[in-house]
Amino acid sequence: MRKGLLFILMLMLAGFLAACGSSNEGESSSDSTGSEEASDSKWSEIQEKGEIVVGTSGTLFPASYYPEDSDEMTGYDVEIMREVADRLGLELKFEEYGVDGLLSAINSGRIDAVINDMEVTKARQEQFTFSEPYKYSYSTMIVRESDLSGIEKLEDLEGKTHGGGATTVFSQIAEHFGAETKTYGNVTNDVYLRDVENGNTDFIINDYYLQSLALKALPNIEVQLHPDLKFHPTNSAIVMPNDASQMKEEIDAVLQEMREDGTLTKLSEEFFGGKDASKKPEADIREIEGLEL
């Protein structure tokens, strides 16, 4: 029985895995014919077995998680993948991995794809194939209510302490502006928030939607979203092997159908408190220059 996971927010959702090199993707020919054959082979394999195996964490609220007192995994990402598989006429099997193991599981061939609020980055695009985005967001920052942790702009992060995962995009952003990152194990979100409240850390960078939900779930902790800082626009997509262009084409077509018929909007509003994360935000969001992700 999975309990107490309803408000878990693992601050690791965009961790870049340096160990996941393209060498594990398989030996593909440099000519176009070889590439096309590899692509067709992956999709043909999935069709032949009639099943797609997808990796997810099961601990990332509200993308992939177990509601309290339930053994049935759900979440925005999980329900999107269920709908995609159904429309493709495939059985769906989820395999659960820690965030740091998801991309390596694709490389090893243990799974066919990953869906876990995985951010599309240039570095990852060199190693993997991504679907069209199903979620658009940006980064925000949780700070103390009393003084905004002394932060007015991103340049004020120098010398301050960030709470997060060691391998995340969010920690890279914090360290780019001169902050140190205090890392955690597998802890619930209230631990992160209370450390900001009591001064053990100064701020937490993470996804806007996830941080909004975390604060709503834990209203008694005296922290808040920074009112002025919106930065690093992000896209989340389904991750596939580097040679899976046919698979991408099939999945993209279904995602487009789901966008046009309102399914993505409906699922987003269900899991993100009435907000539509399937559409690009209209806010003025700062791009961070000089940071290679």
The model's pLDDT over 29-66, given as tens digits with 9 standing for 90+, comes to 344 444 445 556 889 999 999 999 999 999 888 999 99
Residue 74, H or E segment: none
- Region at 89 (left for phi over 0; alpha for psi -120 to 50; beta for the rest): left
Low-confidence ranges of the chain (pLDDT < 50): 1-36
CA dihedral 140, 288, 167, 18 (to 10 degrees): 150
- At 37 the pLDDT is 53
- At 31 the pLDDT is 44
Tens digits of per-residue pLDDT, 57-72? 998 889 999 998 999 9
Q: Which domains does the chain have, with CATH numbers?
A: 22-134+236-271 (3.40.190.10), 136-232 (3.40.190.10)
With contact defined as beta carbons under 8 Å apart, do 133 and 150 qualify?
Answer: no
- At 39 the pLDDT is 54
With pLDDT > 90 as the criterion, what percentage of the chain qualifies? 69
Tens digits of per-residue pLDDT, 198-230? 999 999 999 999 899 989 989 999 999 999 999
How far is the C-alpha of 38 from the C-alpha of 240, rounded, in Å?
Answer: 13
The token pair that represents 189 in the structure block? 């979100």
Query: Strand, coil or helix: what is 56?
Result: strand
How far is the C-alpha of 35 from the C-alpha of 37, rounded, in Å?
Answer: 5
- At 52 the pLDDT is 98
- At 44 the pLDDT is 93
- At 186 the pLDDT is 61
- At 169 the pLDDT is 85
